């Protein structure tokens, strides 16, 4: 493969990655908001632990996303 072709594929993959990451962070934030709105006896179903398991992120990282302490693509 020609170097310019490889670089173009890399640029395209990076763009796709940024879009997917932005969507994932949005889904996490919306999930946390929806979880807060659930009745007390159901909050755990969509809380930080459940979301961390579904996303394969740590609970600590989910908290950082929730609190806006991560760099999220715009």
Residue 16: inside a domain? yes
Q: Does residue 36 lie within any of the structural domains?
A: yes
pTM, whole model, 2 decimals?
0.86
Counting the structural domains of the chain, the total is 1
Cβ atoms of residues 61 and 70 within 8 Å? yes
- CB within 8 A of 22, min separation 6: which ones? 72, 73, 74
23 located within any domain: yes
Could you tell me if residue 72 is inside a domain? Answer: no
Confidence of residue 4 (pLDDT cuts 50, 70, 90): very high
Domain that holds residue 15: 3-66
Residue 8 lies in a domain: yes
Q: Tell whether the torsion through CA atoms of 70, 65, 55 and 27 is positive or negative.
A: negative
Q: Between 36 and 72, whose confidence is greater?
A: 36
pLDDT in tens, 13-69: 999 999 999 999 999 999 999 999 999 999 999 999 999 999 999 999 999 999 999
pLDDT band at 72 (very low <50, low <70, confident <90, very high): low
């Amino acid at each position: 493969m020609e170097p310019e072709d490889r670089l173009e594929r890399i640029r395209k993959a990076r763009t796709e990655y940024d879009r997917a990451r932005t969507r994932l962070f949005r889904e996490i934030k919306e999930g946390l908001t929806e979880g807060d709105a659930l009745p007390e006896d159901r909050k755990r179903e969509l809380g930080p632990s459940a979301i961390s398991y579904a996303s394969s992120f740590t609970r600590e990282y989910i908290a950082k996303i929730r609190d806006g302490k991560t760099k999220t693509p715009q």
